[in-house]
Amino acid sequence: MVKDLQGANKLGVVAMPYLGIYLPIYDKPYDQYALTKGANRLKPVDQNQNVLTANIWSGNLMLVAHNYTDGTTMFSALQQNTGQVEPYIIAGNVQKNYWLKGREAYVATEDFVCKYTIEYQKVVSEYDISIRKDTPNSIIQIITCLEPKDDMRIITVGNLTKKYTWDEIPFDVAKYFDNEIYPFNVR
């Protein structure tokens, strides 16, 4: 893992090999500098909108990073058609998108690597906080702007399907966290 940001709490690394996404994960979601250096975790909230002290391995894991509309930097590759709102919004109607269904997202910390299988994508308003509710099952929600309509957010949703310790992780998965083989796709 790359050197930590000054004053940031690095939680781990997210890898989505199919899209070429390899980013450090920080715990500073509202810090503009941290958002330029990696993905940042949002913490879930309860029914009264109180922020929960969540374990990264259970419930609703939310990661947010920029979409630079280039298809490669940060979470830009999550938008199916770079710079176009379709197929997320068609004729003014919001649509679910399944182009990543079955693809993997991996999250690694110093203790574990979790594999999430993507189910779908959806878009929500930047002010929609319903996605921040905690969940009884372990899911991931990967969040980025929909460009050029950056008041909307693309939410890529997946379910936890496997959890490995570093002693039991297959080599073909462990290599995604070797920064010399797969460098971070940050600016």
**Could you tell me the end-to-end alpha-carbon distance of the chain, in angstroms, rounded to an integer?**
16
The whole-angstrom separation of Cα 187 and Cα 119 is: 28
Could you tell me the two tokens for 89? Answer: 């919004």
Please name the CATH architecture into which domain 10-177 falls.
Beta Barrel (2.40)
Q: Alpha-carbon torsion 144, 148, 17, 135, what sign?
A: positive
> In this predicted structure, what is the pLDDT of residue 184?
93
pLDDT digits (tens, 9 = 90+) for 79-130: 999 999 999 999 999 999 999 999 999 999 988 999 999 999 999 999 998 9
Q: How confident is the model at residue 168 (pLDDT cuts 50, 70, 90)?
A: very high
Average the pLDDT over 146-168 and give the result: 96
Q: Give this prediction's pTM.
A: 0.93
> In this predicted structure, what is the pLDDT of residue 96?
97
Other beta carbons within 10 Å of 71:
16
Residues 6+ apart with CB under 8 A from 167: none
- Between 45 and 129, where is the model more confident? 129
The whole-angstrom separation of Cα 5 and Cα 174 is: 23
CB distance 108 to 177 below 8 Å: yes
Average the pLDDT over 11-33 and give the result: 92
Say which amino acid occupies 97: N
DSSP notation for 38-106: SEEEEPPB-TT-PBP---TTSSEEEEE--B-SSSSSBTGGGSSSTT--TTTEETTEE--B-TTTT-EEE
> In this predicted structure, what is the pLDDT of residue 54?
60
Q: How confident is the model at residue 1 (pLDDT cuts 50, 70, 90)?
A: very low
Residues in the chain, total: 187
What b/e sequence results for 35-53 when a residue is b if at least 16 CB atoms lie within 10 Å of its CB, and e otherwise?
Answer: bebbbbbbbbbeeeeeeee
